[in-house]
Structure 1
Amino acid sequence: MSETYDIAIVGAGIVGLAHALAAAGRGKRVVLFDRDAQANGASVRNFGFITVSGQEAGDCHEMARRACAIWQEVAEAARIPILQRGLVVAARYDESEAVVDAFLATEMGEGCRKISADKARSLVPPLSGAMRFALHSPHEIRVESKTAIGQVTDWLTERHGVAFRFGEAVTGVESGALTTSKGRIEAEAIVVCPGDDTASLFPERIAAHGVTRCKLQMMRVLPERPVSLQTAVMSDLGLGRYLGYAMLPEAGPLKARLDVERRDARANGVHLIVTQSADGSLVVGDSHHYAPTPDPFGSESVDRIILDEFDAVLDLPGRRVTERWIGTYASAEGRWRFTDAPVDGVRLVVVTAGCGASTAFAIGEETISALYD
């Protein structure tokens, strides 16, 4: 006889966890499956940086605001340390000022401000002398993603009674039931959160959305001397890439300059994010390369481009790289996410940009509300 739950979720990354939280909050009996022994994909390989400012205007930015609020509630309840608050986008190019001014004039700029380089150094002391000014946002938070995902999992188990079935692959999904490597489960609703797995479940539905995969390179950098960054750090390259800034008409001259002077960075999808861990080390990245099956190898030349930008923004002589890793996530041109209904009572939810950690909790609320309301 098969087991029965109110809702079954496939995928224990942040998108799956977000749906589990939203369903458990309605008193539903939830089971969550993942083929790996623990979450091992994009959700644990990122910056742990819940980004609001710079997200694409519209529902992406709105969902990031909502998701960040939920993250703070979850962090407090699950005793997950918030290691940094806010964001400093340090700028050295003249053309960046028009982008920042235009951003501040939009609804997305609420609560943000343009500050001097000296003021920015009160938040980020090692900011280099080349920086002219900065955009400061108070909205962001930073957690240690490689441990926070496990902490959310434990909290959902202990506080909300979510049943986790790790090491159990889901091989088939139909209305009211799914088949796994260990048996059959019945559920009135099923949510499939496959991340960048485009082949296992509903591949034809995923292909219809033009999904490919994005590979990124990241590093852990250890400063020679202790340093404290109150906020995460980005740079002009972020103003030219993050759509909340880059889609503004005023970003045209900056992007044109970057295309010429930073051709290597633009060609490799490099922009700078720096966050800090509790041990003082810095998580640094990243790059973006696209393919249906990205190769698993990191490029030293790409790491060098990232580190060159790091050294231009932060004056930390003697810093050294202690870890390097590669991440992948689903990507689709012209969209940042989709929710599909391949069969009755089943939802397929995919974030097709690098903002899953920043938006998932709001997406989970939306999906569960649509299923049950």
Structure 2
Amino acid sequence: MTHYDLAVVGAGIVGLAHALAAARRGKRVVVLERDVQANGASVRNFGFVTVTGQEAGDCWEKARRARDVWAEVAAAAKIPVLLNGLVLTARLSESEAVIDAFLKTPMGEQCRRIDYPEALDFVPALRREAVATALYSPHEIRVESRTAIPLVAKYLAERYGVDYRWQTSVTSVAPPVIETPAGIVEAEAAVVCAGDDFNGLFPGRIAAYGPTRCKLQMLRVKPAAPVSFRTAVQSDLGLGRYLGYSLLPEAQALKARLDAEWTAHRQNGIHLIVTQSADGSFVVGDSHHYAPTPDPFASEAVDRLILDEFDAVLDLPSRTVTERWVGTYASAPDRWRFTDRPSDAVRISVVTAGCGASTAFAIGEETIADLYGDAS
């Protein structure tokens, strides 16, 4: 029986991030995953590593660091970076005030306001009426989630010798004994990264943080004619939702107007994100509905609202929808993540917001430093 330094439960991006941080310290790591491959939020998102707009402080700082690690891993693992940067279009005067206020904060470093011609150079399909002004950020990168996550796992195995136990549920974590239906795995420490599975391992400890689930709807849209974007795209609705903007005092007037005039979008937690894939299609979303157990059904009315905003911002006539899907992730009303410590040798790491892909690599470094001490 192989004896490991660390067992990681969960092969989504949060689990892989912890495996990377430990492996870089020379630890012998095994990742245990109940499915045959990562199949949750990590592969159902935009692949958009978002920095600009994350909540000021810890979240924004983690996103800045995680973006840098993503760049390193993408280059080493031969993961294509499909887009760099973000253009957030603003057609409301209240949005302009939020952008100006944001640019005065430390988070606005290297970001700038741009006009329609420059925005069009980044995103050739922008409608003129959708851009009174725009915010440009150089900080973001975009990968294709459904292929990038398996490539990260493959890279960890080949570069660092990380082992995987696929289709292996974990029933108990008490290092050095990790129990599974297939037998015991021996590891001196463990990190549980089970996403929105709140009732498996350590349910009582997880329940203390009051988590629920967020359900989102997303689509893949194919343009009728080829078009090439240089950046991801967001719109006014993002200024009203992303906490790095919406918590600014100047955002109050914008949120009031959005509530009054974009009522259905706001009630369904909709804001526009558009990222382009290598085949020219776009991943488009998304919506947000909260429940302990969200229903699995996608609403056509919600998809219609998302597409209405897509069409208001982008001029892509005769575009078609080729895929639709639903995802869920952990959420909490008063925090964007938590790390729990059941024992000296065990950590539970959960991102309770939609920024797991954007922050996980930095969270992994923090958790592993705490587990093993700051000395690498």
TM-score over 0.5 (shorter chain): yes
Q: Is 2:319 the counterpart of 1:337?
A: no
SS at match of 1:342: strand
Distance 2:316 2:93 in 1: 24
| Partner Cα distance (1:183, 1:112) in 2 | 52
Alignment map for 1:1-12 (pairs within 5 Å): 3-12=2-11
Distance 1:54 1:348 in 2: 26
Find the aligned partners of 1:332 and 1:253 in 2 and give their Cα distance.
Answer: 26
- Alpha-carbon distance between aligned partners in 1 of 2:263 and 2:282, rounded to the nearest angstrom: 26
Instruction: Determine the structure 1 residue equivalent to 2:187.
Output: 187
Shift of 1:175: 3.5
**Structure-2 residue corresponding to 1:58:** 57
Which stretch of structure 1 is more off in the superposition, 32-41 or 176-185?
176-185
Counterpart CA distance in 1 for 2:199 and 2:279 is 39
SS at match of 2:128: coil
1:145-182 alpha-carbon deviations (Å, 9 max, x no partner): 00000000111111110001110000111132210121
Offset at residue 186 of structure 1 (A)? 1.7
Give the Cα separation in 1 of the matches to 2:77 and 2:235: 32
The structural deviation recorded for 1:187 is: 1.2
**Cα RMSD (Å) of the superposition?**
0.7
Do residues 170 (structure 1) and 198 (structure 2) align? no
Partner-residue secondary structure (3-state), 1:9 = strand
Q: Which residue of 2 aligns with 1:354?
A: 354
Alignment of 1:319-334 (within 5 A): 319-334=319-334
1:182-220 C-alpha deviation (Å, 9 max, x unpaired): 111121110000101011011111111010000000000
Which runs of structure 2 are paired with 1:193-208 in the superposition (5 Å)? 193-208=193-208
Distance in 1, matches of 2:241 and 2:316, equals 25
- Which residue of structure 1 aligns with residue 308 of structure 2? 308
Q: Which amino acid aligns with 1:335?
A: R
Mapped partners of 1:287, 1:181: distance in 2: 37
Q: After TM superposition, what 4+ stretches of structure 1 lie above 3 angstroms from structure 2?
A: none
Q: 2:276 corresponds to which residue?
A: 276
Displacement, 1:4? 1.6
2:322 aligned counterpart, secondary structure = strand
Q: Give the Cα–Cα distance (whole angstroms) in 2 for the partners of residues 183 and 372 of structure 1.
A: 26
Q: Which residue of 1 aligns with 2:128?
A: 129
3-state secondary structure, aligned to 1:75: helix
What pairs up with 1:92-111 in 2 under 5 angstroms?
92-111=91-110
How far off is 1:343 after superposition?
A: 2.2
Aligned residues of 1:31 and 1:162 also touching (Cα < 8 A): yes
Contact 1:172–1:178 under 8 Å retained in 2: yes
**Partner residue in 2 for 1:210:** 210
Answering whether residue 23 of structure 2 is matched by residue 32 of structure 1, we say no
CA distance, structure 2, for counterparts of residue 63 and residue 48 of structure 1: 17
2:158: which partner in 1? Answer: 158
Report the Cα offset of residue 342 of structure 1.
1.2
Give the AA of the match of 1:369: A
Q: What is the one-letter code of the residue matched to 1:13?
A: G
Which residue number corresponds to residue 261 of structure 1?
261
Aligned counterparts of 1:209 and 1:347: Cα–Cα separation in 2: 14
The match for 2:118 is 119
CA offsets per residue over residues 102-150 of structure 1, 9 Å max, x none? 0000000000000001110010011011121100000000000000000
2:344–2:371 Cα contact (<8 Å) kept: no
Question: Shift of the alpha carbon at 1:223?
Answer: 0.4
Aligned mates of 1:334, 1:240 — CA distance in 2: 18
The answer as to whether partners of 2:175 and 2:186 remain within 8 angstroms in 1 is no
Amino acid at match of 2:192: V
CA contact (8 A) 1:175 1:344 kept: no
Q: Distance in 1 between matches of 2:15 and 2:115?
A: 41
- Secondary structure of 1:151's counterpart equals helix
Unaligned residue ranges in structure 1 (runs of 5+): none
CA distance in 2, matches of 1:106, 1:129: 28
Asked if the contact 1:175/1:343 (under 8 Å) is kept, the reply is no
- Distance (Å, rounded) in 1 between the aligned partners of 2:333 and 2:304: 27
Segments of structure 2 that go 5 or more residues without pairing to the other structure are none
Per-residue CA distance 1:64-114 (angstroms, 9 max, x = gap): 000000000000000000000000000111100110000000000000000
- Identical columns (%): 69
1:143 is aligned to 2:126: no
User: Is the aligned partner of 1:16 residue 2:15?
Assistant: yes
Q: Which residue of 2 aligns with 1:72?
A: 71
* Cα distance in 2 between the residues matched to 1:177 and 1:102: 52
| C-alpha contact (below 8 Å) 1:3/1:184 kept by paired residues | no
- Alignment partner of 1:249: what SS? coil
Note if contact 2:102-2:245 (Cα within 8 Å) is conserved in structure 1: yes
